[in-house]
A and B are shown apart, each in its own frame.
Chain A
Amino acid sequence: MKKLLKASDMTKIVFSTLIGVVILFPIYYIIAGSFFSIGEFSTAAPTIIPTSLKLTNYIRALQETMLMRFIINSFIAASVGSVMRMTVAVLCAFPVAFLKFKGKDFLFFLVLGTMMLPSDALIIENYLTISRFGLVNSYFAIISIYLLAPVQMFMLRQSFKTIPHTYRESAVIDGCGEFRFLTLIVLPMARPIVLTLTLQSFVTIWNTYLWPLLVTNDPAMRTVQVGITMLGFAESLDYGPTLAAIALIIIPSISIFVVFRKRIVEGISSGAIVG
């Protein structure tokens, strides 16, 4: 019996490793390709193993393009944006979880209702709003439509609700105001989820493409996702510097991902709906 189980485990291991290798291949190719010379790209039989580990492509990617500027732009937008987004979400989730007042459910419903309106289908009007305010090519334009995060507000409310009501009662008796109760008691208690959601927001804003493409036309204001598609190397089939630029972006994100893997997996798994 035990041997039989082992055999089924073996086939599973073989299959999943095969699939895993296929899934990993594009990432491998980005890193291997970042070391290819033009010659290695245009040979009749394309290779997948670089012959040398020269950093020429990396130097070209950094010197001939504004890659660093793009990265800095994205970093500013994503960090400022994610903090602002969490602030809005916490401020909205807090009264819903702790306070009693008229119209609470309706107001929260209004905010959550924006989930039904996909932002990609609203880009024309949102662009006109931004351009009317004269905000094209600004950091605020890049983050503007991401400041409202209904899903995160919902998750925050659920987590706030697990904080026992006795905390609030004793805080009220001790004369602790709403805002102090939020910053001194609720936020420290909900720290893990607040951190996870902030990290998630950072990634969301970092990864967006269509919206920043629309609201920036000055190369110096491009985010990394937009800038990377406009490096101009790939037209001549010289993918080396482009892949080097991509490698420079994904190596940090993959490292962070592997380090935080457990937390990310737990965050997602806890959201899974199971009957």
Chain B
Amino acid sequence: MITNDAYKGNSKQHALFSQGKWELGFVQRVKPYLFFIPALALAFLFSYRPFVKTIVNSVGLVNYSGRILEFVGLENYLNLFADRNFQTSLINTFRFTGMFVPINLLFCLICALLVYRKRPLVALNETLFIIPMAVAMTSAAIAFKALFNPTIGVINHILGIQIEWFNDPAWAMVTIVVLSIWMALGLDFLLLVAALRSVPLHLIEAAEIEGATSIQKFMHIQLPLISPTILFVVSTRVRDGMLLSGPVLVMTEGGPYRSTQTLVYQMYIEGFKSGNYSKGSAISVVVFVLTFIMILAMFRFERKGVFYQ
């Protein structure tokens, strides 16, 4: 009897346990996915859905509230590439990137080479190089606007030149390049200096014993070893260049004579000032494609020119 009862109880317990286990198993199986919900919802809502919608809008006629009235195929793109205004934006975007990325890299490399080795005052010099990181873009842009101002600005005065920075189409872009380098400097410098410091010292010392000059040391030892960091800096900055808009909005508003009007700036104007969402979306798609091609090109280059230890 007793054994029978015990057996019964046991089987009951067993049944309960297995049911609980099943429930637990179900919860256990679903739980990992629950953690993902916020991230996936945000990715869908603010990245993938708008991405798809942007592509769809770029081949349609869109009204003021963002609804598609009809599909027009590639008409928006044909109009876009025939638009002189857009051609200017495209050229300006490349003009900016072509000036900004190489000068920025060169300047940051020089700064990094000046401080990567232990010597007196390294900490102070480093701090001076990275301090622009603490200043936000708009603050910096307003300050540079005042500094470059042809009448009240001190840059013309100190350098003893008379350049109408913001009225001369040839020079307006230079002010944006200078501002962008000033803002990018801190981060890129830090990345490069960290890379230079991680180059094994014995390699450099061996080269020094062999009588290598600083240039030889740099070209044959340091440059190949820090090339992954250089690739990273260049590709992030190329991407930033393709997406330039903030400094343009604050400093020049695309002028003079559209000489600083970039793609994202024009997209903003078409989308929000003229309410032309179709054209704005077509420009977005061009920006996506360009950024993507640039990144692909970087990775192709990586296979040839970048060395990993």
Contacts and interface: CB of A to CB of B under 8 A. Distances in A.
A186 interface: no
B119 A9 contact: yes
B185 A265 contact: no
Given A27-B131, A114-B48, A125-B53, A206 B191 contact: no
Nearest to A85: B42
Interface stretch (A159-167, A190-198, A248-256): A248-256
Interface string A22-66: 011011011001000000011001101000000000000000000
Interface string B137-177: 11111111111010111100100000000000000000000
A132 interface: yes
Contact of B125 (A20, A124, A127, A256): A20
A229 B250 contact: yes
A91 to B, nearest CB: 5
B232 interface: yes
A95 B36 contact: yes
Contact of B35 (A20, A29, A94, A206): A94
Interface string B208-240: 000000000000000011111100100000010
B74 to A, nearest CB: 19
Contacts of A94: 35
Contacts of B39: 88-89, 91-92, 111, 148, 153
A174 to B, nearest CB: 16
Contact of A121 (B143, B151, B227, B243): B243
Nearest to A88: B38
Interface string A91-109: 1101100010100100100
B195 to A, nearest CB: 5
A209 B135 CA distance: 13
Interface in B277-309: 277, 280-281, 284, 287-288, 291-292, 295, 306-309
A148 B46 contact: yes
B40 interface: yes
A123 B153 contact: no
Interface of B is mostly: helix
Contacts of B291: 118, 121
Interface string B30-41: 011101101110
B71 interface: no
A95 B32 contact: yes
Given A41-B152, A254-B134, A107 B36 contact: yes
B292 A275 contact: no
A38 B276 CA distance: 41
Contacts of A246: 139, 142-143
A187 interface: no
A271 B134 CA distance: 19
A243 B147 CA distance: 11
A30 to B, nearest CB: 5
Given A26-B140, A27-B131, A261-B127, A114 B47 contact: yes
Contacts of A128: 65-66, 277
Contacts of B49: 125, 129
Nearest to B54: A125
Interface of A: 9, 12-13, 15-17, 19-21, 23-24, 26-27, 29-30, 33, 41-42, 45-46, 48, 87-89, 91-92, 94-95, 99, 101, 104, 107, 110-111, 113-114, 116-129, 132, 144-145, 147-148, 153, 178, 206-207, 209-210, 213-214, 225-226, 228-229, 234, 237, 239, 242-243, 246, 249-250, 253-254, 256-258, 261, 264-265, 268-275
6 tightest A-B CB contacts, nearest first: A20-B128, A125-B50, A269-B194, A257-B134, A272-B194, A92-B39
12 contacts: A12-B114, A13-B119, A20-B125, A23-B129, A26-B144, A30-B143, A46-B154, A48-B154, A111-B39, A147-B42, A239-B152, A274-B194
